[in-house]
Amino acid sequence: MTVDTTLADLSDTLFSVSVGLYSLAVVAFCAQLAFGARPAAQRELVGAGAPVAPAADTAAPAAEPPNVRRYGAAAMVLTVLGALAHAGVLLFRGLAADRLPWGNMYEFATAVVLVAVVSFAVLAVRRPALRHLGIFVLAPVVLSMVAIGLFLYAEAGPLVAALRSSWLAVHVSTAILGFGIFFVSGIASVMYLLRVRHDARVAAGTATAGGLLDRLPSPVAIDRVAHRTAVFGFPIWTFAVIAGAIWAESAWGRFWGWDPKETWAFIAWVVYAAYLHARTTAGWRGRAAAWVNVVGLGVMVFNLLYVNMVSTGLHSYAGVE
Amino acid sequence: MTVTAPPREAPAPPPPARPSAGRRAWNLWVRWWRRLTAMRTAIILLFLLALAAIPGSLLPQRSLSQSAVARYFADHPTLAPVLDRFYLFDVFSSPWFAAVYLLLFVSLVGCVLPRAAEHYRALRTPPPAAPRNLLRLPDSARVDTPLEGTAALDAVDEELRVRRYRVVRREGPGGPELSAEKGYAKEAGNLLFHLSLVALLVALAGGKLWGYEGSILVTEGQGFCNVFQQYDTYSSGPLVEGGDLAPLCVDLEDFRAEYEDDLTASSFRADILFGGPGEEGRPQTIGVNDPLRADGARVYLTGHGYAPRFTVVTPGGRTVEDVSAPFLPTEQSTMASEGALKLPDLNGDADSQLAIQGFFAPTGVVQNGILTSVDPRPLEPQVAIVAYQGYLGLDTGRPQSVYSIDAEQIDRGALSRVGSANLAIGETLTLPDGTAITFTGYSQFAALQLSHDPGQVWVLVSAIAVLVGLLAMLLLRRERVFARVGPAAGSGGTVLTVGSLTRGGGEGGERFTALTDDLRAALAARVPARPTPPAGGAPPDPEVPTP
Ligand code: HEM
């Protein structure tokens, strides 16, 4: 098996194209926020413990000037185009090497970011109010992509023997999906924390209303996005861990051995379980729970970067050059 | 709580009967039990569990690599023993790690069992009576219909049953009413999830108690049987006895490694024969991701390497033909390997034993007299050997590695270096005393691991149950719908009030709108079928107005 270099080069070109498109999307989202009207004061139901069904997303500014709406629409179009180019990166990688395009950290991380972008795009298409979060999703996406391109890049190449298993498809795909969804969830929780702090400051008179943060959807709506996505990601992550254990049983002779990667997958799982608990526990809802979610994202990123690059384990995803 | 001094004049209140010691202990216990099984305790314990796992990934662990721990001890001679006192090299089997997860699981059981009992009762009792004011519920609607009250409720009843609600009708103070509930499986999912976690822990523990694992290097043409004495290393649970080991022997016939053009390893395969002791072996090929599974034991191919072969001829005319020893790969990408061959009985006397310490290169290149390996495939096998003669010290009682010569014997002068050479296949090193060492070729060896874990299947079953429970808990919604009918003011028709409550599910709004739309349609569909209008009412409009 040889690597088709034309396709591999096409994949690398598309990587730059997608970074470019995402950067333009960031600019457009920025314009939407900067020129957008401050959304009308929102009805916020702060549940007093009982499971109050919060008001539907009322955060959408009632009348956004058409030019601003156009910025938002342009940003979405750029995001989707960027995601298509981004998908092309993986597609042509896979075709070039004739295998699933997640055989090393570069490919894995690229796929995670793609899932994050697609999750956000789906949310933003279904609830236009969430487009105001766009810049806060796409800016980290651009930064991640640049970092991936700079530090994780690996030439297209064949897989080592241990990775040649159909469990690669099952385990790694679901891990990528879960991670990408948690990425969006974590960002939503960060935005929630920023927005709540800002609102508190405005209420205390130490900050003035009218800034960028005021144009975000209401804290309740952002928090709900964070919870929804985490609820969606958690079973997927659970499945990914179980699938990994099944694979480990056939590849390494034990289904669980506290290899560093396994340990951190477990830690992340426990932290997300704590988040879901916190969301339903009086005294933990709101900011405390959001912090737990942010810690969860931190654990996921640590697991990807530190554990792959610094510690040695069976999971050493060879190929960081 | 505020404490005020009692007025002097007031007669002292009778002192509350001091509860008995048993009673107090019980109260204390109940208080602590409540505290332990509270949700906030669960969150804290989950956090502690995550924190407790961290040192297990940052410090070397004995369960993963004894040698990494030994290296850590060498690098940090003062710190390491302190860390060791706190089990930081055995985190996952440490008492404090166990304390955290056992507390968590006690909390879990204490939290979930009462919920299970409550759920059982809920399954057997009809949905609760409708609250007084339905319009206060998060989702509610009023529907006017010309139908008479019972008929209107019938329509609601049917619509809800189609949606798989459990429905009861009651005669309430405000008129005929209906309560309906669905989504019991959500709570069942929660219980299944949490209890399956307990099952998973039990299965894990069972596997640890009754499981065992042994590993061994086997050179082509050789084999082993499943008894502890034969393994290079083994570990077994406290309840395993030697006689419990699955009767299984494995012979390695052939080992093959294949590589891509860029030398990425693409497959490792070992052809083995397996069967009970003394039986004719059955052939099978095992490989990475593809173990042998037989009779409760699994045999894995976990590594491979080369075992160079030598023929030694002594000046006394004694010939030892084709002896080999496995050399351990020091570099996976080129399979450069190191090892030692010890011949204690060569001359029959303890002071003229022979040992060869060597370096094997499957594809060797010699530059400035130094041999290196450039390819993992055996295209140009070469060895660099150093020969020692003297006393090997094998019977001193001090353990020594089979892959190297005891350096202390050399330092002590018991062993002395008598020659060295780089040899290609067929070449010979002749020592000063006339002993000739010829490199005659190589065999390959496979690192095999035999594992037995009786809990494994149960761990898998529990894990699947965990996932099923989780999906049910997260995807289903527990919903209650209430409806009440009353006479409409004036017109003589009926006012139907419907309200719904979704537990733990966030938005029920859209579904409630869909439900009320269907209700209106269903009510409308029933109207023309009724021949006469209610007394005193206007004839019903064939086109029922939708309110
Ligand atoms: C091994 C530890 C545990 C894990 C991994 C775990 C995980 C979870 C998860 C993922 C949920 C779903 C939350 C949601 O519906 O969004 C949940 C719900 C729940 N857990 Fe746990 N849990 C654990 C221990 C406990 C303990 C110790 C308790 C009791 C103190 C508990 C009580 C509950 C309850 C009551 C719910 C339902 C919350 C609701 O529906 O409002 N869990 N758990």
Structure tokens at B536: 């005193």
Q: Mean pLDDT across chain B, nearest whole number?
A: 87
Q: Are the C-beta atoms of residues B89 and B98 closer than 8 Å to each other? A: no
> What element of type H or E holds B338?
strand B336-343
Cα–Cα distances in angstroms (integers) from residue B154 to residues A38, B157, B176, in the given order: 49, 5, 11
> What element of type H or E holds B484?
strand B478-487
Q: Are the C-beta atoms of residues B177 and B129 closer than 8 Å to each other? A: yes
DSSP character for B396?
Answer: S
Q: With 90 as the cut, is the pLDDT of residue B509 above it?
A: no
pLDDT band at B546 (very low <50, low <70, confident <90, very high): very low
Considering only residues A100 and A92, tell me which one the structure prediction assigns the higher pLDDT.
Answer: A92
- Contact flag A228-B63 (C-beta cutoff 8 Å): no
Place of tokens 């440490």: B94
Name the residue type at position B500: S
Dihedral of alpha carbons B134, B139, B143, B148, sign:
negative
Considering only residues B65 and A321, tell me which one the structure prediction assigns the higher pLDDT.
Answer: B65
Sequence length of chain A is 321
Secondary structure class of B302 (helix, strand, coil): strand
Residue B140 backbone zone (phi > 0: left; psi -120 to 50: alpha; other: beta) = beta
Structure tokens at B495: 């006012």
Distance CA B494, CA B310 (A): 103
Instruction: Note the pLDDT of residue A313.
Output: 57
Distance CA B73, CA B470 (A): 43
Instruction: Note the pLDDT of residue B143.
Output: 87
Q: With 70 as the cut, is the pLDDT of residue A110 above it?
A: yes
Secondary structure class of B157 (helix, strand, coil): helix
Q: Ligand 1 pocket check: which of B108, B198, B202, B477 to mutate, most ligand atoms within 8 Å of Cβ?
A: B108
User: CA geometry: angle at A51 spanning A50 and A53, to 5°?
Assistant: 130
Task: Calculate the dihedral angle through the C-alpha atoms of B88, B94, B95, B100, rounding to the nearest 10 degrees.
Answer: 90
| Contacts A233 to B, Cβ<8 Å | none
Instruction: Note the pLDDT of residue B510.
Output: 80
Which protein residue's CA is at the shortest distance from atom 42 of ligand 1? B108
Dihedral of alpha carbons B344, B347, B349, B351, sign:
negative
- In this structure, of B154-163, B278-287, B533-542, the range with the lowest mean pLDDT score is B533-542
Instruction: Note the pLDDT of residue B15.
Output: 60
Among the atoms of ligand 1, which is closest to the Cα of residue B473?
A: 15
Closest CA to B362 of B302, B304, B320: B304
Q: With 60 as the cut, is the pLDDT of residue B279 above it?
A: yes
Instruction: Note the pLDDT of residue A315.
Output: 59
pLDDT tens profile A207-217: 777 777 787 88
Instruction: Note the pLDDT of residue A52.
Output: 38
Distance CA B324, CA B516 (A): 83
Q: Are the C-beta atoms of residues B29 and B41 closer than 8 Å to each other? A: no
- In this structure, of A110-119, A227-236, B8-17, B92-101, the range with the lowest mean pLDDT score is B8-17
Q: With 80 as the cut, is the pLDDT of residue A37 above it?
A: no
Q: With 90 as the cut, is the pLDDT of residue A319 above it?
A: no
Residue of B nearest to A313 (CA): B64
Among the atoms of ligand 1, which is closest to the Cα of residue A231?
A: 16
Ordered structural domains, chain B, with CATH: 26-116 (no CATH), 126-183+477-526 (3.30.310.80), 212-452 (no CATH)
DSSP character for A206?
Answer: S
Secondary structure class of B281 (helix, strand, coil): coil
Distance CA B399, CA B404 (A): 12
Considering only residues B171 and A308, tell me which one the structure prediction assigns the higher pLDDT.
Answer: B171
DSSP character for B59?
Answer: S
User: Is residue B528 exposed (0-12), middle (13-18) or buried (19+ Cβ within 10 Å)?
Assistant: exposed
Q: How far is the CA of B26 from the centre of ligand 1 (A)?
A: 27
Q: How far is the CA of B197 from the centre of ligand 1 (A)?
A: 11
- In this structure, of B148-152, B176-180, B426-430, the range with the lowest mean pLDDT score is B148-152
Q: With 90 as the cut, is the pLDDT of residue B151 above it?
A: no
pLDDT band at B40 (very low <50, low <70, confident <90, very high): confident
Distance CA A162, CA A259 (A): 16
Instruction: Note the pLDDT of residue A62.
Output: 45
DSSP character for A150?
Answer: I
Q: How far is the CA of A193 from the centre of ligand 1 (A)?
A: 24
Instruction: Note the pLDDT of residue A217.
Output: 86
Distance CA A62, CA A78 (A): 24
Mean pLDDT for B22-51 is 90
Instruction: Note the pLDDT of residue B34.
Output: 87
Mean pLDDT for B242-269 is 87
ipTM over 0.90: no
* A-B Cβ pairs (cutoff 8 Å, strict): 138
Q: Are the C-beta atoms of residues B384 and B420 closer than 8 Å to each other? A: yes
- In this structure, of A254-258, B240-244, B452-456, the range with the lowest mean pLDDT score is B240-244
User: CA geometry: angle at B319 spanning B314 and B325, to 5°?
Assistant: 100
pLDDT tens profile B344-364: 888 777 788 899 999 999 999
pLDDT band at B79 (very low <50, low <70, confident <90, very high): very high
pLDDT tens profile B167-220: 999 888 878 899 999 988 999 999 999 999 999 999 999 999 999 999 999 999
Instruction: Note the pLDDT of residue A48.
Output: 37
Beta strand pairing call for B353-361 and B382-390: antiparallel
Instruction: Note the pLDDT of residue B271.
Output: 95
Among the atoms of ligand 1, which is closest to the Cα of residue B197?
A: 1
Distance CA B236, CA B228 (A): 9
Instruction: Note the pLDDT of residue A122.
Output: 93
Q: Pocket residues for ligand 1 (CB within 6 Å)?
A: A 231, 234, 273, 276-277, 280; B 37, 39, 42, 46, 104, 107-108, 111, 190, 194, 197, 473-474, 504
Secondary structure class of B221 (helix, strand, coil): coil
pLDDT band at A226 (very low <50, low <70, confident <90, very high): very high
pLDDT tens profile A10-30: 999 999 999 999 999 999 988
pLDDT band at B543 (very low <50, low <70, confident <90, very high): very low
Q: How many CB atoms lie within 10 A of CB B296?
A: 14
Instruction: Note the pLDDT of residue B344.
Output: 87
Name the residue type at position A289: A
Distance CA B190, CA B208 (A): 27
Q: With 70 as the cut, is the pLDDT of residue A77 above it?
A: yes
Instruction: Note the pLDDT of residue A50.
Output: 38
Which protein residue's CA is at the shortest distance from atom 19 of ligand 1? A277
Residues 6+ apart with CB under 8 A from B387: B354, B355, B356, B417, B418, B419, B420, B429, B431, B435, B437
Q: Which member of B57, B288, B453 has the closest CB to residue A264?
A: B57
Q: What is the value of pTM for the model shown?
A: 0.85
Among the atoms of ligand 1, which is closest to the Cα of residue B37?
A: 30
Percentage of chain B exceeding pLDDT 70? 92
Residue of B nearest to A165 (CA): B289
Mean pLDDT for A138-150 is 93
Q: How far is the CA of B22 from the centre of ligand 1 (A)?
A: 33
Name the residue type at position A256: W
Instruction: Note the pLDDT of residue B14.
Output: 61
In sequence order, which ranges of A40-132 are alpha helices (DSSP H)?
Answer: 66-97, 105-126
Cα–Cα distances in angstroms (integers) from residue B150 to residues A213, B176, B493, B505, in the given order: 53, 7, 12, 31
Closest CA to A181 of A274, A75, A293: A293
Q: How many CB atoms lie within 10 A of CB A194?
A: 16
Distance CA A117, CA A140 (A): 10
Q: With 90 as the cut, is the pLDDT of residue A45 above it?
A: no
Instruction: Note the pLDDT of residue B11.
Output: 55
Q: Mean pLDDT across chain A, nearest whole number?
A: 84
Mean pLDDT for B110-122 is 91
Q: With 50 as the cut, is the pLDDT of residue A60 above it?
A: no
Give bridge partners of residue B479 from the DSSP assignment.
B182, B502
Distance from CA of A213 to the nearest CA of B (A): 24
Secondary structure class of A226 (helix, strand, coil): helix
Mean pLDDT for A173-198 is 94
